[in-house]
Structure formats: C-alpha cells, structure tokens
Amino acid sequence: MTPGENLFDRLLGRTGAVSVEPHASTGKGLSVQLDHQGHVLTLSVALRAQLAPGALNEPRPHLSALLCASSALSIEGNPAEWQHQNLDLDFQGTAGQVLHTRGWVEPNSDGWVLRVQDVGDLLAGQQLAQDREQNHLLACQISQQLRVCSLSRLPEVFHEHLRSLAQRWRIPCVALALLDEEDQGWRIYSQYAAHDAPALWQTGQRLGTRLDSIHGNVPLRLDETLGRSDNPRLHSVFGQADGFLVPYRDGQGVAAWLLCGFYRGQAPMRDQDWLDLAAALAGPLLSRLREQHHHQQLERVEALQGLLGTGWWELLPGTDEIQLAPQLLHSLSLEHGPTRQPLARWLELIHPADRQELHSRLHDLQTLGTPLLAGVRLQRSDATQNPLWYRVQGQVLGEGENRRWVGFMLDISDIKNQQLHAAAAHARLDNLIASAPAVIYVQRYVSGALHSAFFSDSLLPLLGWTLPDCDHEHLPALIHADDRDLYFERTRQLLRDGSVRSRYRVRDKHGHYHWLLDEAKLLRDDLGIPVEAVGLWLDVTEATLAADRIQQSEERYRILVEDSPAMICRYRPDLTLTFGNTPLANYLECPPAQLPGMNLGHWLSDEQRQAFVQRIHQLTPEFPVSTAEISLELPGREHAWWVWSDRGVFDAQGVLVEVQAVGRDNTEVRRSQQQLTQSAKMATLGEMATGLAHEINQPLNVMRMAIVNVLKRLGDGKAEVAYLTEKLQRIDAQVQRATRVVDHMRVFGRRSEIEQQPFDPAQAVDGTLALLGEGLRGKGIELRITPSAVAVQVTGYVDQLEQVLINLMVNARDALSSRREKNPQLRPWIALHCEHDRRHVRIWVEDNAGGIDPRLLERIFEPFFTTKPIGVGTGLGLSVSYGIVENMGGRLSVVNGEHGARFCVELPVAQITK
C-alpha cells in the first residue's frame, strides 16, 4: 500500500479516496479525520454506514460536501478556526434521511479529528415536547373561548375550532358526536370536511346507538393494521373509510366522540394528547349546552309559573320571614319588593276568614312537621270582584339543623269560582226541582234496560212512593194493567227514537190511579250508546178526567166549568175572549153571554198589556204553559191581582190558535203584602219620631226667638221696617222648612202606587236625607254623600226605595251608637254612594261600626231575625227591604268592608221605549 492510500480506497477500488480508520471497525463513536483545509481523510465505520453513498464518490471531499445545505453554509474557514466550538452538523443520511449530530474538533498529528454524536432522538424529543406544549396551549385556548362565548354564538365558535383542528392536523373530515338524552342515541353536533374530501357526516345526523358498544377508554383507529376492522358498527359510522375515534368521558361514562375520517396518523400524537384535545372540545361544549338547557328549563318553569299563577315559598329558620319566588311576588302584586318578606305581611294578603287557619297550619308545619294543604282567598279591595283563591301546600325537608320548610302557592281561582258557581247553580236546580209541580226523574241505561236512578221530592206528595218503591222491578206493577203495554211501548220508542211523549195511569200508595203525562229524552255518549233518560211526570189526572167527562157529556163539562170557583176562559192571541165562565163574568160585572168578543187588555194598563202579550207569544208546542200574576183595573173596584195560568193551543204547523186560561183571585194575599210593607214603613216613621220632632222643633224655636225679639223691639218703640222685614222673612223660611218635613212625612207615610213607575233613585236618596240628615248630624254622625253624576231611571216605587234606604241608615245609626258606647273616641260616619252602568244602578250604604258577625251574614235578611235587644227591633226591616228590592227586579246584598258593613241596593235600569 502506497503512502496516501488507505483500506477504504482499496475497498472502493480507487486510489486517493477517503480512508476509514482502523480503530473505527469496532462501531463505537462517530468521527472524521480532516486535513488542515477541512477535507475528509478518513471516516469511522459507524458514521460511514449512516451517510448517503453519493456523498463519498469524490476523493477527499470537503466536509461541507457531506452535510446538508443548511449545515454546509455554516461551515466556513479551516478546522483550526473551529476549535473550542460546539458544532451542530446535519449529514446527508441514507434513504434521504438527515443525520443530526453535535460535535467538536480536536488536533491530531496528521491534522484534525471531528468527533460527533447522534442527537436525532434528542431533537425529536424536543420537537415532540414543543408540539405537545403547543397542543396543550391550543386546547386551553379552545376550552377558554368555548366557555366565554355567548350561547347564541356557541355553534359558530365550535365549528371554527373544529375547522382549525382539521387544518392543523390535516384531518380531511372531522366531527363531534354527542349523546342525545331524549332518544338515548348519538347525534352529530358539528362537522367539518375539507373542500377536496367527501363529507362523511352531516350536522344533526342521528347515529343511533351504533357507538354504544365501543369501549371509550383510549382512541380507536379503524384500519387493517390494528386488527379492529371487524366491528360492523364502526364501518357503519365511517362508511368503510379509514378513521380515528377519540372518546370523552365524564362522571357518567362516554359523553362524546371525536370522529376523524380519512386520517392516517400524519402527526406524532400520543393517545393522551388526543384524549386531552377531545376533552378541550367536548368538556366546555357539554357544560355550555347543559347551561343552556338549564336556562331553558328555568325559562319554561318561569313561564309555567306565570301561566298557572304559582310559585315556591320557603320559611326562613330563626326569623319571622318568608322567601317568595319572583314570579309569585308578581302574582301577589309584590314585584317591587324583596323576595324576603315578613311573614306577617304575607299573611295580611290573605282574607281574614282564612288567615287564622293558615297561620295555625304554618305553625304545625314548623313545630310538628305536619304537611300543609289549604285553600285560601286573597284580600281584595273591591269586595264585588270574585275572590282570588290559592292552594297553599308545604312540607318539611331534611332533619335536625338542616330542616327546611318549603312549599308552593297555586292560583285555583277559576276552579274554585267554577265550583262555587256550580254549587250555587246546583242548589238553585235542586230548589227548582223540589218546588216544581211535576215529578222529574232520571233512568240509567244498564244492560239494555232503563233503571230508575232519581226522582224529585215531588214524587212523595204526588204518589206517596219513594225511589226504592219505583225501581226497575216494582215500577211496572204500579202501572195500570190496561196501560202496561203502552208503558213498555213507551220504553221501546224512547230507546229507538231518543224521545217520547205518552200518557198512562200509575197507582199511588193509597190505591188510587193518577193519569201522568210522561215526557222523556234519551241522552247518548259520543259513540251513540244510550247513557240515561231524563224526563218528567206531570199529573194530568184532572185534565184527563175532564176530557173524558167532556167526551161523555158536553153539558156536564159546561156545568163543571161554570160552577168552578176559578176563572176559566179561552181567548185568541190578540186577547179577544171566545169563552168565559160565570166567575169571570162576575168579576168583570157583565153577563157570561157578553164575554165573547170582549178584550182582556181593556182592564190592563199599557205596561201590563205589553208584558201579557209578550208572555203569550213565548208559548210553544214544547212549552205551552205559562203562569204569571197580573194586575187589573176592574170596573168600580180597586186594583185586583190574579194568578193567571195560560195553556196554548196550536195547529199542525205549530201556530198559536187559541189560549185556554185559568185564574184565581190573589188580591187579598197581595194586599196583605202591601199592608206588611206599609206597617214596616209606619214602624220606621215611629223609630224616626225623635229625629222628626227635632226637625220640627228646630224651626219652631227659631220662630219663637224671632217673635220674642220683635215684641221686645215693639215694646221699646225701636221697631224698624227693615228689622221687622228680616225677622218675618226668617219666620217664613222656618215655616217652609217645617212644612217640607211634614209634607214629606205625609208623602212617605201614604200607601204606594198600584203599579210600578219609572223614577230617578236620586229622589229616594234626597227624601231619605231630608228625614234623617239633621237627626244624624245632631247625633254627631258624619254623612258622606256621593250622588250619581248622571240621572238615570229605574222601575218601581220611589217611597218603598226610600223606605229601604231609611232602614239601612237607621240600622247603621244604631250600630254606630252601640259601638261609640264602647269606644268614645270613635268618629262615626255613614257613607251613601251612587253609581250605575248600562244595566244596573247601585246604591251603597256603608258605616264604620265594625261590620256584622260573619256567622250572621247569611241570616241577616230572615224575617223576625234581629241582633237588637228585646223590645227594640222587630226584625222585619231588612226582610221587608229585601222583598221590596226583589219585587222591583233587583237585589239587596251585604258584605263586610274595611270599616264596617256595606249594603248594596242593585236595581235594573229602566228600558224606556219611545
């Protein structure tokens, strides 16, 4: 071997090539032998094995020829200048790889030795650490932005982060699937696909339960190399494409999946990095979605509370306070106050009738733990409005020091008021049924037959039987044998046609038979199945027997009609008589033969005639009977009152042809009622005697003093014309004052008019004040009068309305006097307030005497009922007043107001026809 030739040159078959150090055959270390200009002389075996072959073709290449372009540019000068420096050199490695090294230069006898170490793994670790740090920062940034963005922009912000993630890690198709709590399946919340990649999923797409069987502990790659391609659920999700799934777990399991489609692992990411990234996306998103769901739930609850008029409450321990829900504060008109309210203030909102009971139940709830359930009314300023009803319910939560007393209030006004109206209507219906002359019955449809289920109270006085006596088994036996087939046919026709009208005989308890007119109607449900039959029995025994007698003998019928004490007649719709019996002729003071052709309206006033004709025209074939009380002006007599019953006779087309009427004289009864009213009026005058005497004595005293002064002046000879004129005018004014009082007493004390007349209620108010005003003021009672702003008229008797107002004000006076004896500091007052609308006039009489015992309110209008001492009151004032107002078509009522009793006289406005 010649000088300058080494073993590496011989192996390559050329001379002058770079040689390999003999000691490098051990494979330890990486070194390069350089000359003083930086040319490569020899390479260690380990280094040469890692270099690209093309870099060693030239003999004695310069060191920069073995380096990558970036490192070659940094090698300048000669090895002597590289001493004491750390050199980072990147060699051209095999297969296009780069060999990253770090080394230093040492002097050698033949030149220089460059010793290097492979730092590729160290650099890769540093790069991986930097990537992980950047990934962590990015995840924190994503999480922070998702937490602070508004709920309305949450989908948009999340989609932007999803797009950034796909572009950073070069994922062609990425999506996030969330668990849908409604159908317990998976749904794509958001997705992004690159412009050159097909979209595997769509936003809102349902995945069903296809991800439930996948264990969500680590990221899962879908490809052949991992051996997990046999899962059909994954293939159905990714559509046979390569993919990567990253789970996100919360306290209840896997709550989200990050789906990466067409992803082949370009970026070096650990499983934990993917899990952290998925958590950064799904964690704050789920938190914000749950927050949004919570807000929506709160909005729904608040809306529902507003619609229902409800809200929660809680008693605060250790204090006398209660905390109310904001919506409940609004319902109770406390929206401007704090949610913590004093318990006493809350209880003040409750009606006094329910306040004590609610307070007691709250005490039991706190001390005994008894659950609270009560229905209470709210206190309302206007007593005429329907009360507001609330259901108050509460219970105890927790034990010991952690006990809490919570509950809710629910507005049940509609239900409660409907129940009250239904109860009132049911009571009126029961009263109507009980007082009806006919027997009302109900038959239930059971297994193809009708079974008696109800009979009105009129059954017992009519037939003497009760409901068990007339059940399904016994009723046919009570039917007359000759009419039994007719009764069975009646039942079949009712079930077939839905309505029936028949007549048959029924035996009473004494063995007598009654002819009953049976009218019934069948009620069906929505499917047309019979439910029950409702009908009535009308006792037509007399009419039937009369008809039979008429058929047997017209003469006997005529004698029966003529000898009847009742007035019987027939007339046409224009009130022209076609027949009248002897009692009617005697009342009208004419022979019976002259009755045909006469008109009943001749003895009626215009108002009575109009009401009579209107009632007759309301008769129909279905309701042919009408009863009313009429007032007549009989010749040579005072007014008479008849109870008049009409029955219409109709032709085949349902047109009224004739009317058959029966009447009886009710004059004595009506006069007795008038006498009772007059007696009550005179009793009122008697009670006012002291005040009226004061009204008359006062002007007499004034006149007496004026006369004394005039006589004294005349005796002294100092009488002047002006002085005498002034005194005489004063005497004349007092005479007129006394005359008005006496005249009004005379007008008030006389009997009422025969017929009701239109009048202004203000007249009755003025008359009442004329009789009582000065007397009340003399007793120290303040009068607060609010007259009606517009004149209006009602129909009735002005003196009787004045009597009602006097009774109310006298009762108020007595109550105030009684209370002032107990409380001398009381400043008594009586208020009289008038108001009206298009339909009614209302006169309110109120005082500050403290009101009436609620237990006595229902009995206040009963005859002879009084709270005054024996010998002081008759107990007829309010009863007569109630009858007077009712007779005028109005209503007298009373409630307890804030200061005392409030009586209301409500009368209908008169309809004046022009």
Which CATH number is 211's domain given? 3.30.450.40
**Once rounded to an integer, what is the mean pLDDT over residues 809-828?**
87
Backbone angles phi, psi at 570, to 5 degrees: -130, 145
Cα separation values, 632 from 132, 594, 609, 642, 729, Å: 113, 19, 10, 8, 50
- Statement to judge: residues 610 and 740 lie in one domain: no
**Nearest in space to 769 (alpha carbons), one of 234, 761, 303, 565:** 761
- Statement to judge: residues 883 and 757 lie in one domain: yes
The gap from C-alpha 18 to its chain's centroid, in whole angstroms, comes to 101
Residue 142 domain-assigned?
no
Residue 1 domain-assigned?
no
Could you say which of 266, 296, 326 is where a domain stops? 296
* The predicted structure's pLDDT at residue 679: 57
Of 400-414, 425-439, 741-755, the range with the lowest mean pLDDT is 741-755
Residue 497 has pLDDT above 60, yes or no: yes
**Nearest in space to 56 (alpha carbons), one of 114, 100, 12:** 12
Cα separation values, 326 from 329, 339, 389, 396, 684, Å: 5, 7, 19, 22, 56
Residue 227 has pLDDT above 60, yes or no: no
Whether 21 and 31 have beta carbons less than 8 Å apart is answered as: yes
* The predicted structure's pLDDT at residue 264: 63
pLDDT tens digits, one per residue of 558-577: 666 777 778 888 999 989 99
* The predicted structure's pLDDT at residue 702: 62
- Statement to judge: residues 249 and 154 lie in one domain: yes
Can you tell me the distance from the alpha carbon of 174 to that of 192, in angstroms, rounded to the nearest whole number? 5
> Tokens for 203?
């936003």
What CATH number is associated with residue 35?
A: 3.30.450.20
Q: Would you call 464 helix, strand, or coil by DSSP?
A: coil
* The predicted structure's pLDDT at residue 870: 47
- Statement to judge: residues 630 and 683 lie in one domain: no
* The predicted structure's pLDDT at residue 544: 84
Compute and round to an integer the Cα radius of gyration of the chain.
55
**Nearest in space to 902 (alpha carbons), one of 911, 910, 892, 912:** 892
Residue 913 has pLDDT above 90, yes or no: no
Q: What percent of the chain has pLDDT over 90?
A: 13
**Nearest in space to 894 (alpha carbons), one of 867, 869, 860, 864:** 860
What CATH number is associated with residue 379?
A: 3.30.450
**Once rounded to an integer, what is the mean pLDDT over residues 432-457?**
84
- Statement to judge: residues 782 and 900 lie in one domain: yes
- Statement to judge: residues 640 and 698 lie in one domain: no
Give the confidence band of 9 by pLDDT, cuts at 50, 70, 90: very low
Q: Which domain holds residue 573?
A: 553-665
Give the confidence band of 55 by pLDDT, cuts at 50, 70, 90: low
* The predicted structure's pLDDT at residue 493: 92
**Continuous segment of H or E residues that includes residue 668:** helix 667-687
Of 237-246, 384-393, 735-744, the range with the lowest mean pLDDT is 735-744
- Statement to judge: residues 114 and 205 lie in one domain: no
Can you tell me the distance from the alpha carbon of 229 to that of 324, in angstroms, rounded to the nearest whole number? 60
**Once rounded to an integer, what is the mean pLDDT over residues 138-161?**
84
> Tokens for 37?
């200009």
Residue 415 domain-assigned?
no
Cβ neighbours, 10 Å, residue 36 = 12
pLDDT tens digits, one per residue of 254-296: 888 888 888 765 555 677 888 888 888 888 888 888 888 888 8
- Statement to judge: residues 249 and 344 lie in one domain: no
- Statement to judge: residues 607 and 510 lie in one domain: no
Residues 6+ apart with CB under 8 A from 796: 756, 757, 759, 887, 888, 889, 890, 907
pLDDT tens digits, one per residue of 629-661: 788 777 666 677 788 889 999 988 889 999 999
pLDDT tens digits, one per residue of 516-554: 999 999 999 888 899 999 998 988 888 888 777 767 766
- Statement to judge: residues 346 and 484 lie in one domain: no
Tell me the helices (H) and strands (E) count for the chain, helix number first: 24, 35
pLDDT tens digits, one per residue of 573-625: 989 999 888 888 888 888 888 889 988 888 888 888 888 888 888 889 888 89
Residue 710 domain-assigned?
yes
- Helices 761-778 and 798-822 cross at an angle (nearest 10°) of 30
pLDDT tens digits, one per residue of 728-758: 776 766 666 566 566 555 555 445 455 678 8
* The predicted structure's pLDDT at residue 864: 60
Of 32-46, 129-143, 164-178, 821-835, the range with the lowest mean pLDDT is 129-143
Could you say which of 402, 427, 455 is where a domain stops? 402
**What pairs with residue 248 in β-bridges?**
256
The residue assigned the tokens 């494979």 is 27
Whether 668 and 580 have beta carbons less than 8 Å apart is answered as: no
Residue 581 domain-assigned?
yes
* The predicted structure's pLDDT at residue 431: 77
* The predicted structure's pLDDT at residue 701: 63
Residue 513 has pLDDT above 90, yes or no: yes
Mean predicted lDDT score pLDDT of the chain: 79
* The predicted structure's pLDDT at residue 683: 55
Could you say which of 544, 567, 598 is where a domain stops? 544
Residues 6+ apart with CB under 8 A from 749: 681, 682, 685
Give the confidence band of 33 by pLDDT, cuts at 50, 70, 90: confident
- Statement to judge: residues 390 and 451 lie in one domain: no
> Tokens for 294?
């919570």
- Statement to judge: residues 597 and 717 lie in one domain: no
Per the structure, how many domains does the chain have? 6
Give the confidence band of 14 by pLDDT, cuts at 50, 70, 90: very low
Residue 431 domain-assigned?
no
What CATH number is associated with residue 752?
A: 3.30.565.10
Cα separation values, 837 from 284, 522, 523, 888, 893, Å: 64, 43, 41, 18, 18
Residue 132 domain-assigned?
no
Whether 616 and 591 have beta carbons less than 8 Å apart is answered as: no
Residue 126 domain-assigned?
no
How open is the CA angle 656-538-658, to the nearest 5 degrees? 15
Can you tell me the distance from the alpha carbon of 181 to that of 237, in angstroms, rounded to the nearest whole number? 20
